[in-house]
Amino acid sequence: MNRGKVFRQWLQIAAGLLVFAFGVHLTIFANIGLAPWDCLSMGIAKHTPLNYGLAMTLMAVVILGIDLALKERIGFGTVIDALLTGNFVQLYNDLNPLPLNTNLWLGILIMLLGFAFMALGMMIYMKGEQCCGPRDSLLVGLGKRLPRWPIGLVEILLWAVVLLAGWLLGGPVGIGTLISTFGAGLVMQLVYSALRFEPRSVRHRDIVEIWKVLQGC
């Protein structure tokens, strides 16, 4: 690997986050309830001067700090994710000229389409090979500290805590929240199967490895 490839990977990561953020925007636009993390971000925005995008960015930076405290593997992709994703979502929210959807069935369709864009964006992002986003790293870190618990159960408990906090702060909860909990992973699997992409085959490089490349070591 050389410096040119590193810079191209950063552009690829940013492009993937643009696609991912559009998917998140669609799940918000569907207006039938939000996924736990988005619900929490919206709840924080309701009680602070921050808009949704800045609330999501602040939360991602805090989670990044927790990842570091848990000694999880952090890459430049993790940092780029933390800084850009929330702001990209807010950009889409600001640019969308349409009113929020009010039809339940159309909302479900829009949300499922959002999941597909999120999965596609994650694939583009992960192919940049510079580690997972802050929330994924947090899940892995907690999973390591609860080795007897299935990782799926750890994720459910983490999402439950996040969702409870978001709901208490007034974040939107509805049928879309339930669909997000069980449907996002299914849509992701369908997209990755169709594109023949296996996330576990990606060999990620952390900040230390990439820094050595940039220094010419």
Could you give the CA distance from residue 207 to residue 199 in angstroms, rounded to a whole number? 20
Which of the four pLDDT bands, split at 50, 70 and 90, describes residue 109? very high
Which of the four pLDDT bands, split at 50, 70 and 90, describes residue 167? very high
Which of the four pLDDT bands, split at 50, 70 and 90, describes residue 214? confident
pLDDT of residue 54: 93
- The amino acid at residue 44 is I
Q: Are 96 and 21 in contact (CB under 8 A)?
A: no
| Mean pLDDT of all residues belonging to the chain | 91
Q: Is 37 helix (H, G, I), strand (E, B) or coil?
A: helix
Tell me the average pLDDT across 3-25.
95
Model pTM above 0.85 = yes
